[in-house]
Amino acid sequence: MKKTLFLFIICLQSLAQNPLSKGEHFAKINGLKLHYVVSGNGPLCIFPTPGWGPNLDAYKNSMPELEKTFTVVWLDTRASGLSEGSDKPEDYQTDDFIEDIEQLRIHLKQDKVWIAGHSMGGWQVLNYGIKYNKNLKGIIAIAAFAGMDQLAQDEYVKAIQKRSSEPYYAPGSKMLLGQDTMKRSLQEEMGYIMPFYFHDQANLPKFMAVENVQLSQKAWDMTSKGGLGSEQILDLLPKITVPTLVIVGDDDFICDQVSHANRIQKAIKNSQLSVIKNAGHFIWIEQPEAFFGVINNWMKKQKL
C-alpha cells in the first residue's frame, strides 16, 4: 500500500514538472511569469494571443476543433489573461513577443514546432518565422496582419466605407478612422467596433457567447505605446521557407485579402492561400466547416 502511494505521488510530481502535461501552466519567460494551457491531440502547435488584449480563452473556447488536429499550447501573451506584463512600453515591441515564443519553445523542450496565430497573433507567427524559421515545422497565419502601408490603409478605409449603410456604421467608423478622439476603455471601444469584424451580423452573438473572454487594458495601452506591428515585413517574408497556410475571409475589413493575405502568400514561396467566402475577421465563427476543413486538408498534404 505504501509503495503504491509512493509511486502515485512520484507520478503526480512528474506530471507537475512536465511542461507539456494537459492543463494550465506558468513559466518564467524573459523575466515574466507567462500563462499557457496545453490541450488537444496531435503535433504540437503554439498559438499566441494577439498581444493587444484578448486572453487565450477567446481562442481556446471558440475553436475547440483545432484541438482535434493539434496538441495546442494556448499562450497568454505578456500582460494578457493570466500572464504578467512589464510596466515599460518599450517591452511591448514585436521582437519582445517573438522572443517570448522562442523561450516558450525552449521551455517546452521542442526542437521544432508548428505555430498558428490570428490577426496580430498572425503577425507574431510570421515574424517568428522570419527570425526562427529553422525552429519551425510550419505556420498557419489566420487573417494575419502584414503591416500598414498605403495599400493597406486604402483597403482598410474602403472596407469600412463599404459598411456605410449599416446601423452600426456611424459611431464605429469614427473610431476606426481616428475621427473620434474621446477617451474610452478598450471594453467600451470594442462594443462599438465589433460589428465591423463580421460578414453576417447574425454571427456576432456567437462570438459574444464564448466563455471567459477577457480584454487587458494594460496590454492595449502598452502595445499602443510600444509599437507592436509598426514594422514593415513584406520584404522579409521570403526568409520563411517552411510550409505556410494563409487563411483569410473574403469580407475581412481589417486584415483584408488584397493588402495582407495576397502579399503574404506571394512573398512566402512554400505557401498556400485559402480564401473563405462569406466570412469576416473571425472566420472560424462564421464558416467553421470551411475553416477547419482547409486546415485539416492542408495538414494531410504535409504527410504528418
Residue 40 falls in which region: left (phi positive, over 0), alpha (psi -120 to 50) or beta: left
Among residues 127, 281, 268, 107, the alpha carbon closest in space to that of 204 is found at 281
DSSP 136: E
Predicted structure pTM score: 0.94
Cell of 154: 486604402
Question: How confident is the model over 201-242, as pLDDT tens digits?
Answer: 999 999 999 999 999 999 999 999 999 999 999 999 999 999
Q: Is the pLDDT of residue 16 over 60?
A: no
SS3 label, residue 116: strand
> According to the model, what pLDDT value does residue 8 have?
44
Res. 181 pLDDT band, cuts 50 70 90: confident
Q: Is the pLDDT of residue 6 over 70?
A: no
Residue 28 falls in which region: left (phi positive, over 0), alpha (psi -120 to 50) or beta: beta
> According to the model, what pLDDT value does residue 15 have?
46
Q: Is the pLDDT of residue 186 over 60?
A: yes
Q: How far apart are the first and last CA of the chain?
A: 43
Mean pLDDT for the chain?
Answer: 94
Q: Is the pLDDT of residue 30 over 70?
A: yes
> According to the model, what pLDDT value does residue 170 have?
93
DSSP 229: T
Average pLDDT over residues 27-31: 98
Phi, psi dihedral angles at 187 (to 5 degrees): -60, -45
Q: Is the pLDDT of residue 13 over 60?
A: no
Average pLDDT over residues 43-49: 98
Res. 17 pLDDT band, cuts 50 70 90: confident
Query: 19-301: what fold?
Result: Rossmann fold (3.40.50)
> According to the model, what pLDDT value does residue 183 have?
87
Residue 180 or residue 113, greater confidence: 113
